[in-house]
């Protein structure tokens, strides 16, 4: 499985990631959501370079222009609720894409042990299309894998791009072990070395959903 880490190449992308992590800037929820949206736009642009293109003719007021345009159907899939700003960033660029939404969360038991619960899936058919599956945080990788398999019930995608701005080394290794080695590309913003016994990424950035929309009950 191919893996691309955007922070490994110095760019403006790193500033947006730094602001996501900054505990002082995080107090501004609007800024947090906007930074996540801008990160989604950068990921979308980078992924657009990996899509197939076909030359099409465009009629201008003065003649005909030939230009290479994306020749592929996309489905943008997001894990709620934290993924919504990231999803919007993708949608700003891939404005013709279809969309899928998944509700998945951790259900905790004793000693901070948890299982991944999925309660909602809304998705178009994905047979033969390009699937972009995104979540702001990749901790254990279990929710991403569960969501991927749930989406396969809607068809077999031509290619899947898995996107996460902040990932743990453990989660990355987990996906490499459990996702197909072909027809899947893993796009990451940054990889953090530590995953605590409570499955929190360190240094991470905290709870992306709470930072974007407020604490939940």
| Phi then psi dihedrals of residue 38, to 5 deg | -65, -35
Instruction: Inform me whether the pLDDT recorded for 208 exceeds 70.
Output: yes
Q: Give the burial string for 12-50 (b: 16+ CB within 10 Å, else e).
A: ebeebbebbbeeeebeeeeebbbbbbbbbbbbbeebeee
Residue 114 has a pLDDT of: 67
Peptide bond into 203 cis (omega under 30): yes
* Residue 59 C-beta-side C-alpha neighbours within 13 Å: 0
Instruction: Inform me whether the pLDDT recorded for 129 exceeds 70.
Output: yes
How many CB atoms sit inside 10 A of residue 59's CB? 8
Instruction: Inform me whether the pLDDT recorded for 3 exceeds 90.
Output: yes
Reduce the DSSP state of residue 69 to 3 states and report it. strand
Residue spans of the domains in the chain: they are 2-213
Mean pLDDT of 4-15: 96
153-198: per-residue pLDDT in tens? Answer: 999 999 999 999 999 999 999 999 999 989 999 999 999 999 987 8
| Phi then psi dihedrals of residue 214, to 5 deg | 100, 160
Does this model's pTM top 0.85? My answer is yes
Instruction: Inform me whether the pLDDT recorded for 128 exceeds 90.
Output: yes
Question: What architecture is the 2-213 domain classified under in CATH?
Answer: 3-Layer(aba) Sandwich (3.40)
Task: Please name the residue that has the structure tokens 């990160």.
Answer: 39
Instruction: Give the pLDDT band of residue 109 (cuts 50, 70, 90).
Output: low
Residue 106 has a pLDDT of: 66
Distances (CA, A) of 192 to 21, 131, 182, 184: 12, 25, 25, 21
Is residue 189 within 8 Å of 4, Cβ to Cβ? no
Minimum mean pLDDT among 95-109, 129-143, 153-167: which range?
95-109
Reduce the DSSP state of residue 48 to 3 states and report it. helix
């Amino acid at each position: 499985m191919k893996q691309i880490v955007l922070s490994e190449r110095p760019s403006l992308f790193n500033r947006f990631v730094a602001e996501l992590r900054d505990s002082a800037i995080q107090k501004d929820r609007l800024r947090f959501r906007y930074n996540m949206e801008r990160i989604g736009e950068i990921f979308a642009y980078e992924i657009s370079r990996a899509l197939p293109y076909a030359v099409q003719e465009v009629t201008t007021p003065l003649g005909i222009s030939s230009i290479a345009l994306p020749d592929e159907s996309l489905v943008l899939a997001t894990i709620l609720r934290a993924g919504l700003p990231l999803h919007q960033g993708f949608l700003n660029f891939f404005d013709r894409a279809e969309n899928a939404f998944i509700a998945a969360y951790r259900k905790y038991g004793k000693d901070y042990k948890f299982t991944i619960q999925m309660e909602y899936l809304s998705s178009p058919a994905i047979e033969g299309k390009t699937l972009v599956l995104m979540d702001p945080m990749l901790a254990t990788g279990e929710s991403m894998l569960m969501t991927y398999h749930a989406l396969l019930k809607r068809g077999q995608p031509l290619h899947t791009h898995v996107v996460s701005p902040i990932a743990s080394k453990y989660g990355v290794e987990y996906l490499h072990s459990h996702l197909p080695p072909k027809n899947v590309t893993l796009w990451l913003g940054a990889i953090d070395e530590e995953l605590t016994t409570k499955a929190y990424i360190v240094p991470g950035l905290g709870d992306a959903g709470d930072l974007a929309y407020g604490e939940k009950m």
